[in-house]
Structure formats: C-alpha cells, structure tokens
C-alpha cells in the first residue's frame, strides 16, 4: 500500500489494454518532485510483465507516493510509438523530472536502473 | 527455362535506366539492399524508388529514416524536383524518422525491436503501403549496444517485411572488405545493388552495379549514373552491338564542293565522319556547315563542344557566313559546352546519351574528340567513342567527330589510327607552308561505300564561306594560296605572250603575202609587155617579108619587060 500510483490502471498485469489516452494527459499539472514514468510494452509478454514488475518494485522502494506509472500497450495504441521515438521494447521513459530519460529492456538489473534514472547518485 | 506460375515478379522503380538493366525493377515483395559509401546516392535512390512508386505505379510507401529528419528529407528531395510534402499530405508516402541516440538510451536487460515493427505496421496499415525504405538501419547498430539482439531482430524484420509482401529497399554503408559495415548482405539474399562514387585523376564518376539478383537475369556491368534535377539516371550503355540497319540516304555536307568530292552527294545518313587536322585548319567550320545544312533541312543538330563556349562558336561561325542563331531559336540546334575534365569518360558518355535521347538530333557533332582523350587513357576513350558511335549508328544519327592532331606530328594519319576503324568517312585537313604562307588542304582519306574523289583540294575560308579550290599540282608539288595564285598569273601571262606572238607573226605573214602579191603583179605586167613586144616584132617582120616579096616581084617584072 505504500506505492500510491496515480496511474489509472495499476493492474497492468491484467488489463494493459485499457490504458487509454487519459494516461498521457496525466503528465501535465503534476507537483514538483513528482516522477512521471511511462512504460511502453507490446502485449502481455513475459518480458513486459517482468519489466513492469521490476519497475514497480523500484518505484515502491525509492519513489513512494511521488510517482505515477503509465503503461502503454503499443499493440493497442501503435500510433503512440512515433511520438516517444520507441524502437525497442520494453522502453521506460522518464517524462518528469526533466530531462527525459530512457531505459530499454526488462529492467532486470535493478542497480543500473537506479543509476540510469538518477535515483541513486 | 521453366516458367512456374510464381515466377519472380518485379516492382518497377521508375528510375531512369535502372528498370532496363534489371529487366523490370526490384524483386516485388522482397527486400533489396542498396549499399555504397558516403555520398554515393543510396538514400536518394531509395527515396526516388518510393516517390516514383507512389506517383507512377500507385504503390504508397513508407520511408523509415534513421539519419535524416522529415524536414531534411523534404528539403533534399525538393532540390530534385519532387514535392514529397504533397505526397505525404495525400497519404501516398509516410515518413517516419526514427531517432536512436546512444547517449539517451540506457540498456537494461532483455529487449526486442518490437517498437519498430509496431511503427512500421501501423504506417503500412495507415496508407496501404506496398513499398518500404529503411534508410539506413545500420544506425541502430551504433545506437544500441546489444549486437546479438540487433542482428536477430534485423533478420526478423526483413522476414517480417517479406511476409507482408513489402518491396523493401534497405540502405547500408559500405564497410571494410564487405558490402556493408554490419554485414546486412547476409540477411538480404534477393537483390543487392552497389553504388559507387569513384574518383580517378580528380574526376569523379558515379557507378551502379547489380551485385546479385536472385532468380533474375541482370546486367552485371558497372553502369554510370548521374544525379541531376530529374533524380537518378542510370545509363545502360551496352557494348558494341552491330545489328543496326544502315541507310543509303545521303546528306549534304553543306559545302557543295565537298559533296562533289564525296560522290556528288555528301555523307551517308547515320554514318560517322572523322575530320582530323591540326590547329587552326578550319575543322569547326566544316562542322558548322554540316550543322547549318541539317538545320536548314529542318533537322536537329546537337553540338558537343569541349573547347569553346556556345556564343564563341556562334560568333566565330558568323564571320564565315554561317549564322546558327536562328536555328538555336527554332530549337533545331542545341549546343552543349563542357570541359572534358568535368566528368569521367563514362559520365560524358552517359550525359551525351541522355541529351541525345532527349533532343533527338539527326546530326551530332563532337568538337573535338581528341580532348576527350584527355579525360582518360587512350584505350578508355577509344572504347567510349566506339560505344558512342554504335549508339549513334543505331539511332541513325550522323556523327561528326573532329580530331585535333598535333601539327608537329608528321604522320597525322597515324594519330587517329584508333578511330579510323570506327569511322565511315575520314576527311583530313592539312596545312602546307609554302612561300611564307600557311594554306589548308583537304582531302578524303577514306569514305566507305561511295566513289569519292582522290583529289587534294585547297580549302579556302572566306567571309562568304568555305570554298574548295582545285589545288595547283605542278612539278614542285602542290601549290596553294599566293603561290597558287602567282603560278596561275604566270601561266596567264605566258599564255598572253604566246597569243600576242602569234598575232604578230600572223600580221607579218599577211604583209609578206601582200608584198608577194605585188611582186607577182609586177612580174606579170612585165611579161605581158614582153609578150606585146614580141607580137609587135613578129608583125613587123611579116610586114617586112611581104614588102620584100613585093619588091622582088616588082624587080622580076621589071627585068622581063626589057
């Protein structure tokens, strides 16, 4: 219960399909210090599930109550791939705080995710 | 050969000449690799393939670019006369710029390139694409670290595109010892096209070669290509084909006396004429006459000059009474002046082909071919000219080549030996120095298939035009110019003198005759007088005789009486 994510669909595992446009609108109007993370996946593959699980774990540990995770399933919303320059999947995009950062892969190396996302100096 | 129902179908590229050498274009529904070094024109090739596909063959296409942004591409192709923005607006072309920046991407764990697939799939569905260009997918290898994943994914991508029946062009940068840096040729087994940009002696030539084309015959030569305002033109220049029909039609040389020397009618249409001569012998003038004659017949003439500019030639020709300007205005005469060192030989040939195809002249003049030899080796230039001559003959274009021979070279006829076998008619202009003057001589060295004059004529350029005067052939050899004139004067004076002498002699004879006649008259008069004298004497003597008789009778009479 620690991780209070503002994502509309936190239950990505079951319904990744329903992440609709609303998830993007969530970017604006967040208070400072708030992290907006967007995870791009394609379908409910083992790799996307792993990536989400890993991400959730990190966020719960390091960004409790000050992050939102949006999961975008490109197999349902392929038009969104171009905007964020998605090539590889899964891709994690840190929209806020600036600058934008990307991590590709299933985030299995937790330590490196922390460094990559500037969660650990 | 077995024609199975699924014989390889081809997607025409619409690129000038490329479809000819591949027998129809790229393999339909399969990937083709177009590779080459930086700046060789591979992106342009790919883009033109897409644009022409959309415009000419109603096949929408996706341009997935990894290097240039959409704006860059719009600008690039706009300079080649394509309005890609319009095609994008009409949903005939979809441009997707894929940006992969290594510094912005952190890799962590397993991934695939499904994102790329999704983007492509989405775009294909959106516009109903039949063609895809990936330019250049190798950028991914620089942007992403995990080569093992990349290779597997690229292979999967090509197969995926094949499954969807996309005619795909993949570009790749040429690598060390391999066609592409990342060995993309391993994944593309259907068709590989290699573009090349070679510099030889500071002259660059673009070339294209179809390295591989599975299931299809294709020209294996290197073909020069050029990039101009119409995009890419590949110029398939096939080597000497000799199966062309020849014409018996004759075309005037524009110089009546030269026509006369060539069996009275001039050159054969579609034949090749070589005019060689040293500097300043009036070679270009002969060419200008030919051009003028052709244009006056309403035919087109193309003049390739490698030394003089158009206005220079036109001005100079005006001074000898040939005005080419009206022909230029009527679009019967076209002039193309370039330095031979601007391009390589192949490119020259290619350009000439293109321009000749475009303008469709009946007479082509090359002035001079000897400077083409400066752009390459002698063998190269001879083979290039051979191919040009073959091309002209096939098109029934009368080719007129001017060759500048060095004045120092005594055996001028040997200089152009390589060209001799190519040409049908060979005219030689020579200058002779005599009596402190330099004069020009023209003769027909050979002319296949016609009775031609064996005379050496003096070639005189006046402000009214060219005249071919019969040269004076005397004991001292050929006399020309003033020497010929003075010789002619001398002869004239000699004739005059003889004539006068004769007249004088005739007069003397007349006098003598008259004197004789007078003499005869006086003799006759003397004779007559003598004759009269004699008659008178005879009469007197008779009278005396009669008187004596009478006296004798009277005496006798008187004696009897006593």
DSSP B145-164: S-HHHHHHHHHHHHHHHHHT
Could you tell me the two tokens for B56?
A: 């000419």
Contacts B115 to A, Cβ<8 Å: 40, 42, 74, 81, 86-89, 91
CB-based contact B115 A103, cutoff 8 Å:
no
Contacts B111 to A, Cβ<8 Å: 47, 88-91, 104-106
d(CA B136, CA B64): 8
- CB neighbours of residue B130 within 10 Å: 21
Choice among A22-31, B251-260, B355-364 with the minimum mean pLDDT: A22-31
Task: Please indicate if any CB of chain B lies within 8 Å of the CB of A37.
Answer: no
d(CA B87, CA B62): 11
CB-based contact A42 B115, cutoff 8 Å:
yes
Task: Please indicate if any CB of chain A lies within 8 Å of the CB of B112.
Answer: yes
Q: In terms of C-beta density within 10 A (0-12 exposed, 13-18 middle, 19 or more buried), how is residue B169 classed?
A: buried
B112 min Cα distance to partner chain A (Å): 5
Task: Please indicate if any CB of chain A lies within 8 Å of the CB of B88.
Answer: no
Alpha helical stretches, state H, B106-146: 114-127, 139-143
Give the count of alpha carbons within 13 A of B523, CB side only.
6
Closest CA to B235 of B251, B213, B219: B219
Task: Determine the pLDDT at residue B409.
Answer: 52
Residue with tokens 């060390």: B176
- Under a CB-based contact definition with an 8 Å cutoff, are residues B405 and B438 in contact? no
Q: In terms of C-beta density within 10 A (0-12 exposed, 13-18 middle, 19 or more buried), how is residue B118 classed?
A: buried
Task: Determine the pLDDT at residue B12.
Answer: 92
Closest CA to B35 of B167, B225, B195: B195
Query: Chain centroid to CA B59: how far?
Result: 40
> How much of chain B exceeds pLDDT 90, in percent?
30
CB-based contact B108 A112, cutoff 8 Å:
yes
Residue with tokens 């469709």: B360
Candidate from A40, A74, A113 with C-beta closest to B108: A113
Task: Quick: pLDDT tens for B414-461.
Answer: 556 667 777 888 888 888 777 777 888 888 888 888 888 888 888 888
B72 min Cα distance to partner chain A (Å): 17
d(CA B423, CA B446): 9
d(CA B202, CA B344): 9
Pairing outcome for strands B203-213 and B191-200: antiparallel
Task: Quick: pLDDT tens for B107-151.
Answer: 888 889 999 999 999 999 999 999 999 988 888 888 888 888 889
Task: Determine the pLDDT at residue A9.
Answer: 43
Report the pLDDT averaged over residues B291-310. 90
Beta bridge partners of residue B56, listed in sequence order: none
CB-based contact A88 B104, cutoff 8 Å:
no
**pTM > 0.80: yes or no:** no
Candidate from A42, A82, A109 with C-beta closest to B96: A82
Does residue B413 or residue B251 have the better pLDDT? Answer: B251
Candidate from B116, B118, B144 with C-beta closest to A75: B118
Q: Quick check: helix, strand or coil at residue B403?
A: strand
Q: Which residues of B are catalytic?
A: 67, 307
d(CA B324, CA B310): 10
B542 φ, ψ to 5°? -65, -45
Report the pLDDT averaged over residues B335-363. 84
Closest CA to B267 of B241, B307, B233, B299: B299
B441 contacts: CB under 8 Å, gap ≥ 6: B429, B430, B431, B432, B456, B457, B458, B459, B471, B478, B480
Task: Determine the pLDDT at residue B2.
Answer: 45
Q: In terms of C-beta density within 10 A (0-12 exposed, 13-18 middle, 19 or more buried), how is residue B546 classed?
A: exposed
Task: Please indicate if any CB of chain B lies within 8 Å of the CB of A23.
Answer: no
Task: Quick: pLDDT tens for B12-49.
Answer: 998 878 888 888 899 999 999 999 888 888 888 999 99
- Which residue, among A76, A81, A112, would best test binding to B if mutated, counting the most B CBs under 10 Å from its CB? A81
Q: Using CA of residue B25, residue B26, residue B29, residue B34, what is the dihedral sign?
A: negative
Q: For chains A and B, count residue pairs whose Cβ atoms are closer than 8 Å.
A: 95
Q: What confidence tier does B470 reach under pLDDT thresholds 50, 70, 90? A: confident
Task: Determine the pLDDT at residue A7.
Answer: 45
Q: Quick check: helix, strand or coil at residue B211?
A: strand
d(CA B262, CA B477): 24
Buried b (16+ CB within 10 A) or exposed e, B413-452: eebbeebeebbbbbbbbbbbebeeeebbbbbbbebeebeb
Choice among B154-163, B349-358, B543-552 with the minimum mean pLDDT: B349-358
d(CA B387, CA B384): 5
Q: Quick check: helix, strand or coil at residue B336?
A: strand
Rg (C-alpha) for chain A, rounded Å, is 13
Report the pLDDT averaged over residues B342-351. 78
Task: Please indicate if any CB of chain A lies within 8 Å of the CB of B111.
Answer: yes
ipTM of this complex: 0.75
d(CA B440, CA B202): 38
Contacts A42 to B, Cβ<8 Å: 114-115, 118
Could you tell me the two tokens for B256?
A: 């009546």
Closest CA to B206 of B305, B330, B321, B347: B347
Q: What is the pLDDT along chain A (121 residues), one digit of tens a residue?
A: 444 444 444 444 433 444 444 444 444 555 667 888 899 998 888 888 998 998 888 888 888 788 888 899 998 888 888 888 889 889 988 887 878 888 888 888 877 777 777 776 5
Contacts A47 to B, Cβ<8 Å: 110-112
């Amino acid at each position: 219960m620690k991780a209070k994510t503002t994502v509309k669909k936190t239950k990505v595992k079951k319904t990744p399909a329903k992440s609709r446009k609303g998830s993007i609108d969530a970017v604006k109007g967040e208070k400072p210090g708030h992290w907006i993370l967007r995870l791009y996946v394609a379908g409910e593959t083992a790799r996307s599930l792993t990536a989400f699980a890993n991400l959730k774990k990190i966020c719960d540990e390091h960004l409790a109550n000050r992050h939102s995770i949006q999961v975008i399933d490109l197999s349902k919303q392929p038009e969104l791939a171009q905007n964020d320059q998605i090539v590889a999947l899964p891709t994690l995009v840190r929209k806020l705080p600036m600058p934008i950062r990307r991590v590709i892969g299933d985030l299995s190396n937790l330590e490196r995710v922390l460094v990559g996302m500037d969660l650990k100096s | 050969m077995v024609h199975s129902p699924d014989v390889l179908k081809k997607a025409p590229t619409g690129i000038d000449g490329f479809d000819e050498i591949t027998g129809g274009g790229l393999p339909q529904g399969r990937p083709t690799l177009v590779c080459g070094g930086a700046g060789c024109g591979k992106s342009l090739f790919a883009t033109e393939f897409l644009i022409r596909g959309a415009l000419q063959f109603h096949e929408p296409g996706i341009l997935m670019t990894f290097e240039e942004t959409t704006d860059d591409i719009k600008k690039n192709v706009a300079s080649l006369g394509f309005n890609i923005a319009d095609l994008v607006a009409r949903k005939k072309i979809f441009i997707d710029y894929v940006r992969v920046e290594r510094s912005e991407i952190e890799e962590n764990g397993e991934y695939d390139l499904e994102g790329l697939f999704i983007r492509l799939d989405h775009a294909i569905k959106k516009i109903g694409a039949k063609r895809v260009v990936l330019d250049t997918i190798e950028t991914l290898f620089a942007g992403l670290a995990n080569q093992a994943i990349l290779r597997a994914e690229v292979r999967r991508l090509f197969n995926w595109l094949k499954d969807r029946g996309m005619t795909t062009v993949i570009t790749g940068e040429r690598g060390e010892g391999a066609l592409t840096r990342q060995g993309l040729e391993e994944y593309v087994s259907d068709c590989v096209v290699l573009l090349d940009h070679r510099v030889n002696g500071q002259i660059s030539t673009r070339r294209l070669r179809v390295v591989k084309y599975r299931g299809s015959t294709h020209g294996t030569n290197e073909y020069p290509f050029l990039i101009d305002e119409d995009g890419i033109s590949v110029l398939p220049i096939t080597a000497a084909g000799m199966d062309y029909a020849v014409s018996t039609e004759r075309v005037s040389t524009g110089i009546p006396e030269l026509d006369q020397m060539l069996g009275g009618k001039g050159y054969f249409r579609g034949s090749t004429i070589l005019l060689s001569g040293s500097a300043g012998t009036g070679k270009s003038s002969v060419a200008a006459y030919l051009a003028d004659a052709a244009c006056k017949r309403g035919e087109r003439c193309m003049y390739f000059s490698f030394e003089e500019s158009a206005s220079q030639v036109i001005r100079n020709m005006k001074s000898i009474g040939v005005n080419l300007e009206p022909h230029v205005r009527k679009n019967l005469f076209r002039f193309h002046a370039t330095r031979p060192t601007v391009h390589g030989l192949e490119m020259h040939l290619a350009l000439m082909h293109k321009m000749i195809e475009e303008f469709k002249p009946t007479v082509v003049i090359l002035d001079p071919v000897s400077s083409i030899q400066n752009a390459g080796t002698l063998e190269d230039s001879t083979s290039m000219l051979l191919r040009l001559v073959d091309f002209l003959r096939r098109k029934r274009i009368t080719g007129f080549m001017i060759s500048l021979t060095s004045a120092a070279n005594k055996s001028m006829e040997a200089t152009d030996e390589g060209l001799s076998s190519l040409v049908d008619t060979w005219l030689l202009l020579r200058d002779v120095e005599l009596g402190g003057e330099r004069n020009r001589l023209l003769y027909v060295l050979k002319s296949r298939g016609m009775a031609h004059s064996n005379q050496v004529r003096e070639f005189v350029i006046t402000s009214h035009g060219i005249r071919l005067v019969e040269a004076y052939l005397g004991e001292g050899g050929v006399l020309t110019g003033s020497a010929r004139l003075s010789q002619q004067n001398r002869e004239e004076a000699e004739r005059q003198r003889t004539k006068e002498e004769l007249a004088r002699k005739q007069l003397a004879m007349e006098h003598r005759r008259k004197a004789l006649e007078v003499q005869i008259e006086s003799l006759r008069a003397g004779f007559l007088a003598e004759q009269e004298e004699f008659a008178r004497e005879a009469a007197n003597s008779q009278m005396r005789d009669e008187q004596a008789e009478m006296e004798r009778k009277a005496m006798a009479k008187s004696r009897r009486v006593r």
